[in-house]
Amino acid sequence: MNIAFIGLGNMGAPMAMNLLKAGHALKVFDLNPAAMQALAEAGAQAALSPRAACDGAECVLTMLPAAAHVHSVLTADEGVLAGIAPDVPLIDSSTIDPASAQRFAELAARQGTPFADAPVSGGTGGAAAGTLTFMVGASPALFERIQPVLTAMGKHIVHCGGVGMGQTAKICNNLVLGVSMAAVAEAMSLGAALGIDTKILADIINTSSGRCWSSDTYNPYPGIVETAPASRGYSGGFGADLMLKDLGLATGAAKSVHQPAFMGALAEQLYQALSQRGDGRLDFSAIIKLYRDA
Amino acid sequence: MNIAFIGLGNMGAPMAMNLLKAGHALKVFDLNPAAMQALAEAGAQAALSPRAACDGAECVLTMLPAAAHVHSVLTADEGVLAGIAPDVPLIDSSTIDPASAQRFAELAARQGTPFADAPVSGGTGGAAAGTLTFMVGASPALFERIQPVLTAMGKHIVHCGGVGMGQTAKICNNLVLGVSMAAVAEAMSLGAALGIDTKILADIINTSSGRCWSSDTYNPYPGIVETAPASRGYSGGFGADLMLKDLGLATGAAKSVHQPAFMGALAEQLYQALSQRGDGRLDFSAIIKLYRDA
Amino acid sequence: MNIAFIGLGNMGAPMAMNLLKAGHALKVFDLNPAAMQALAEAGAQAALSPRAACDGAECVLTMLPAAAHVHSVLTADEGVLAGIAPDVPLIDSSTIDPASAQRFAELAARQGTPFADAPVSGGTGGAAAGTLTFMVGASPALFERIQPVLTAMGKHIVHCGGVGMGQTAKICNNLVLGVSMAAVAEAMSLGAALGIDTKILADIINTSSGRCWSSDTYNPYPGIVETAPASRGYSGGFGADLMLKDLGLATGAAKSVHQPAFMGALAEQLYQALSQRGDGRLDFSAIIKLYRDA
Amino acid sequence: MNIAFIGLGNMGAPMAMNLLKAGHALKVFDLNPAAMQALAEAGAQAALSPRAACDGAECVLTMLPAAAHVHSVLTADEGVLAGIAPDVPLIDSSTIDPASAQRFAELAARQGTPFADAPVSGGTGGAAAGTLTFMVGASPALFERIQPVLTAMGKHIVHCGGVGMGQTAKICNNLVLGVSMAAVAEAMSLGAALGIDTKILADIINTSSGRCWSSDTYNPYPGIVETAPASRGYSGGFGADLMLKDLGLATGAAKSVHQPAFMGALAEQLYQALSQRGDGRLDFSAIIKLYRDA
């Protein structure tokens, strides 16, 4: 299939690569020429603008840092909406707020372009391995159409509901994640200070009602889970600044629907404090540094 | 074995009953005569004081609301320490702070009484079914001695380390639990307000990094988990006031070791607010009522 | 002086009225015809668009709900920037984030329009009485030029620095205000529950280190300050939803400069909870309702 | 008058000294012989126990770190209650929780000893200068009796109500103080990061609704108030660890009456974090260090 792919950052580049590997023909665009060069060497065609990338495309994907970038890539004179052919699906895999996704869908709909939000989880590792989870907000018909394309990049393609529901699912999940990671960091540090063997503590939590991914798979205390960032100096993984961004999306979305978000708002401030002290590029489990010298 | 059991409340009574069923001979004491009467009808011998209950006991168990009660039951003139024979194990299954447990162990040690803290999880259901988890703080030798007694009341008997470590394990687990439940309540309410199908949202969280017991087993949103209190009006289960107490123990213990407990302290206030509006006797997953009309 | 005034809401209308009283000639615009009608009856000329209102104006004022409205009023085809003559001062008295104010100043500068942000405090009462405080962000020269106009509407015209600093001053002040009001509500409720005479408590706080405007002038406990909204059912005053908006601006601005805002973020959530229970239109001191039946 | 004074720490020693200066005859006791030595050199008589200090006393004062110390000093075999003559007033100026004060009053009443709680504010400076504020919980008759004694040590002697109300007043005031200081620290740091001149910002807050003692008298930003600890490296003043203790008393008292204390609990955690990083002995306005390199 002819596919346009806009946004070749840490996530976008390996995702585009997997589309190539799956046999698709790609036109790509990124503001960074080096990023385009890498894809071009792998067989993609570098385009001079998002609009140009859409030329002849049967499907268009965008993977960008924030809603403002998506807005610009879609609506600029040389943007996607100026170049995309009628009825060609437009899939945005950026993580943005649900309301923006819905606004973009409306803009697209005005010219007959079906729009899906499809944020991912799984990180750069999952992007490279093609094992991402896609959380998709789209009409059932559109979901069916785009599923084959997404399958080339991900393992779990989940239909979350109409437009915006992919984003909703992602930020709600990450709200729980960001809070529970802080809670596990707090509890493990407390246990250590009280003198318990932290491996025993983790075992108990992991087989009790405190059980959670942040404890059993990604424990922030060093040496508990061999494969977790905590066991390699908090390098790699899911950056604290990205968690900060996602918690900001969650509290922002809560505000938009007049919901309180007590726990999310406090967690957001804690990750902000972590970032301010210079640790924003570490894995988000480094939040434990607010509790102990880790 | 001859066992003294002090404290026949909602948890203590069924625990004592299981000891009887396992063939032990029980002397029991409680300030409430009706509670003793029920046990007496099942074959236990009612005692006039904790001290009297200890007469001839080869093992003494206490199950009381708070550290102040344990202190009084142990140290009163007619208390346990006045009646217990040398070298007889004293097991306190109350949920109290680790430092108090350690202080009681010292008091007991002065007269040669080996002391273990052994708080439980599993609720009144687990107490009745004999499927409690015991988190035990004791020397290895003492742990080995008391394990057979605990097995009559519980399914998982976990050795958490020296005295106080049973309490430490419990409050650290419940710190994670209380916070993650609030987080799930917040995220499910947010998702609902944003328009996602809450069953789909729960499915996504449960197979993603937000996965936790509070979501996959005990989801606070009505209708997600059939067996959870949320699906029966938040009746039964683990009372919000008990979670409030346990979070108080966690933040108190954190204070004692000069650790911050940001998330625990906020969650404690939220459960306090729930309690103040009159919902303290509901299951703690009713915390979702702070976010939506549930 | 010929003045254009855009935005005739609860604040804008009485401000415009005071400009008329001071002898200025006004062209006004609002989306709501009734609002224009009232000003027209008082001698202003109703315009068909912001652009039309600017025709012949020697000074342009905008007073709008949020940054999005300002953006639209300034940049629309029939907007202010299309109609304003070269070198005519543009004063925005809306309360918005400092970065937006700075962006609007840049837009204006491109066509030679000097821009000042000049948010106010003093509420609708101050707007009617002409006793508002204006916090002005502008170059010294511009400040000097616009001061006479602002004096017709306000009592204190404070130069806070360059563009954006008016907004900065306002949101920093309101951050302290929103937090300290919640603190006073918490302390007064706590004191009452502990049994102290609340008048005595307020007296002590007001002559001690807890002294603050939220306690000595605007105490949220009923009956302490006769003139405060708390003594008339929390009607009138500064609405809780406006405080919620301002705290959102404060935490948003903190995010933009990578600063944590722990206290502001928690206070924001508390006002959100107050709003969610239906009390957003009450005075913001009604935050005490989260602590007691007030 | 013959006065017994127990507890000669940083506060107690200068307070006792002022009683001597006022012409009273003092018997003093402290666990630290050096502290007693200093008072003895000034004319006091060193006693071998609290009980001995009470011999012949017409009034007994205690000034101790926490409720546990008061309990021990009052109830020990060689304690105050064993030595005090009938109807001699017992005044505790320690800062403790109201419920403990009320319990001590009951103990004292059993033997006909009238008890007053009389915590102070004003710090070591006020203690030395004799300008403390005493917040007194006592019956009107007892208040009248003890007022002359307190006047020798303080400038403002405030009757707050019955026993426990002195403590209630103090912790409620310090709850507002601890929270508002954190709020001012947050707002000043935010303003600085946004680029405003911090002196201008403080001026605006101090003449607006954010006005408070933490801003106009004790501003935590360096260089704003010449006489504030912030302008001398946060040395001297009211220690962060003392504020941490008082916030703990406030949240503990709130818990005892089933009140939420959202703001106090968060502030408590922030001061705990400040203490954990090693700054607990600095003035409490050093809380600003959590927001910026100060």
Q: Kindly state whether residues C56 and C195 are assigned to the same domain.
A: no
**Span of B91-105, B118-132, B189-203 with lowest mean pLDDT:** B118-132
What is the reported pLDDT for D257? Answer: 97
Judged by CB atoms closer than 8 Å, whether chains meet at B275 and D262 is answered as: no
Last residue of a domain, one of B162, B183, B200: B162
Judged by CB atoms closer than 8 Å, whether chains meet at B273 and C266 is answered as: no
CB atoms under 10 Å from CB of A1, counted, come to 14
Rounded to whole angstroms, how far apart are CA atoms C140 and C176? 27
Q: Are C59 and C89 in contact (CB under 8 A)?
A: yes
Q: Are B294 and B222 in contact (CB under 8 A)?
A: yes
Pick among C208, C214, C249 to test the D interface (most D CBs inside 10 A):
C208
Domain limits for position C197: 168-290
Phi, psi (degrees; rounded to nearest 5) at D3: -125, 135
Confidence bin at D292 (pLDDT 50/70/90)? very high
Q: Kindly state whether residues C198 and C131 are assigned to the same domain.
A: no
Give the position of tokens 């949920």: B95
Burial environment of residue D34 by CB neighbours within 10 A (0 to 12, 13 to 18, 19 or more): exposed
User: Could you tell me which residues come within 8 angstroms of residue D126 by beta carbon, excluding any fewer than 6 positions away?
Assistant: D120, D132, D133, D154, D155
Q: Are C180 and D210 in contact (CB under 8 A)?
A: yes
What is the reported pLDDT for C86? Answer: 93
Q: What is the mean pLDDT of residues B15-40?
A: 97
Q: Which residues from chain A sit within 8 angstroms of residue D273, using beta carbons? A: 290
Q: Kindly state whether residues C269 and C188 are assigned to the same domain.
A: yes
Q: Which residues from chain A sit within 8 angstroms of residue D266, using beta carbons? A: 266
Judged by CB atoms closer than 8 Å, whether chains meet at B258 and D265 is answered as: no
Phi, psi (degrees; rounded to nearest 5) at B231: -90, 5
Q: Which residue of D has its CA nearest to C210?
A: D177
Q: Which residues from chain A sit within 8 angstroms of residue D290, using beta carbons? A: 273
As given in the structure block, the two tokens for residue A12 are 């976008």
Last residue of a domain, one of A162, A181, A211: A162
Judged by CB atoms closer than 8 Å, whether chains meet at C265 and A266 is answered as: yes
Q: Which of C265, C273, C276 sits opposite A269 (nearest CB)?
A: C265
Nearest CA distance, B43 vs chain A (angstrom): 33
Q: Which residue of A has its CA nearest to C245?
A: A255
Phi, psi (degrees; rounded to nearest 5) at C207: -115, 15
As given in the structure block, the two tokens for residue B32 are 């409430």
Q: Which residues from chain B sit within 8 angstroms of residue C290, using beta carbons? A: 273
Residue in D21, D27, D155, D170 annotated catalytic: D170
Pick among C262, C271, C281, C287 to test the A interface (most A CBs inside 10 A):
C262
Q: Which residues from chain A sit within 8 angstroms of residue B272, using beta carbons? A: none
CB atoms under 10 Å from CB of A21, counted, come to 13
What is the reported pLDDT for A236? Answer: 84
Q: Which residues from chain D sit within 8 angstroms of residue C292, using beta carbons? A: 259
Residue in B27, B170, B245, B289 annotated catalytic: B170
Q: Kindly state whether residues A271 and A213 are assigned to the same domain.
A: yes
What b/e sequence results for A248-260 when a residue is b if at least 16 CB atoms lie within 10 Å of its CB, and e otherwise? bbbbbbbbeeebb
Q: Kindly state whether residues B140 and B181 are assigned to the same domain.
A: no
Judged by CB atoms closer than 8 Å, whether chains meet at C273 and B266 is answered as: no
Q: Kindly state whether residues D283 and D217 are assigned to the same domain.
A: yes
Q: Which residues from chain D sit within 8 angstroms of residue B259, using beta carbons? A: 272, 276
Burial environment of residue A204 by CB neighbours within 10 A (0 to 12, 13 to 18, 19 or more): buried
Q: Kindly state whether residues D98 and D234 are assigned to the same domain.
A: no
What b/e sequence results for C59-94 when a residue is b if at least 16 CB atoms lie within 10 Å of its CB, and e otherwise? bbbbbbbebebbbebbeeeebbbbbbeeebbbbbbb
pLDDT at B94 over 90: yes
Confidence bin at B223 (pLDDT 50/70/90)? very high
Q: Which of A262, A272, A273 sits opposite C269 (nearest CB)?
A: A262
* CATH number of the domain to which B149 belongs: 3.40.50.720
Q: What is the mean pLDDT of residues B191-205?
A: 98
Q: Which residues of chain C have pLDDT under 70?
A: none
Q: How far is CA D238 from CA C264, D286, D292, in A?
A: 24, 10, 20
Q: How far is CA B46 from the centre of its chain?
A: 24
What is the reported pLDDT for D131? Answer: 95
Question: What would the pLDDT profile of B131-190 be if each residue is shown by its tens digit?
Answer: 999 999 999 999 999 999 999 999 999 999 999 999 999 999 999 999 999 999 999 999
Nearest CA distance, B242 vs chain D (angstrom): 13
Reported ipTM exceeds the 0.85 cut: yes
Question: What would the pLDDT profile of B238-248 be if each residue is shown by its tens digit?
Answer: 999 999 999 99
pLDDT at A235 over 80: yes
Helical ranges in chain D per DSSP H = 12-21, 33-41, 50-53, 67-75, 80-83, 98-110, 123-129, 140-151, 165-194, 198-206, 213-216, 240-256, 262-274
Q: Which of A169, A174, A205 sits opposite B201 (nearest CB)?
A: A169
Q: Kindly state whether residues D8 and D148 are assigned to the same domain.
A: yes
How many domains, chain D? 2
Rounded to whole angstroms, how far apart are CA atoms A184 and B32? 39
How many CA atoms, within 13 angstroms, populate the side-chain half-sphere of residue B222? 10
pLDDT at A123 over 90: no
Q: How far is CA C52 from CA C26, C27, C80, C104, in A?
A: 12, 8, 8, 20
Phi, psi (degrees; rounded to nearest 5) at A152: -70, -15
With contact defined as 3+ CB pairs under 8 Å, the chains touching C are: A, B, D
pLDDT at D294 over 80: no
Q: Kindly state whether residues A146 and A172 are assigned to the same domain.
A: no
Q: Which of C135, C156, C266 sits opposite D262 (nearest CB)?
A: C266
What is the reported pLDDT for C236? Answer: 84
pLDDT at A53 over 90: yes
Judged by CB atoms closer than 8 Å, whether chains meet at A210 and B175 is answered as: yes
Nearest CA distance, C227 vs chain B (angstrom): 30
Q: Kindly state whether residues A108 and A175 are assigned to the same domain.
A: no
Nearest CA distance, D270 vs chain A (angstrom): 11
Last residue of a domain, one of C146, C162, C178: C162
Judged by CB atoms closer than 8 Å, whether chains meet at A191 and B169 is answered as: yes
For β-strands D120-121 and D154-161, DSSP reports them as unpaired
Nearest CA distance, A267 vs chain B (angstrom): 8
Q: Which residue of C has its CA nearest to D183?
A: C176
Question: What would the pLDDT profile of A79-113 be if each residue is shown by its tens digit?
Answer: 999 999 999 999 999 999 999 999 999 999 999 99
Q: Kindly state whether residues B26 and B98 are assigned to the same domain.
A: yes
* CATH number of the domain to which D202 belongs: 1.10.1040.10
Q: Kindly state whether residues C106 and C246 are assigned to the same domain.
A: no
Residue in A27, A170, A245, A289 annotated catalytic: A170
Q: What is the mean pLDDT of residues A182-193?
A: 98
Q: Which residue of A has its CA nearest to C274?
A: A260
Q: Which residues from chain D sit within 8 angstroms of residue A266, using beta carbons? A: 266
Rounded to whole angstroms, how far apart are CA atoms C190 and D99? 13
For β-strands D120-121 and D132-137, DSSP reports them as antiparallel
Q: Are D194 and C164 in contact (CB under 8 A)?
A: yes
Q: How many helices (H) and strands (E) does chain C have?
A: 13, 9
In eight-state DSSP terms, residue D30 is: -
Catalytic residues of C: 170
Nearest CA distance, A178 vs chain C (angstrom): 16
Judged by CB atoms closer than 8 Å, whether chains meet at D266 and C266 is answered as: yes
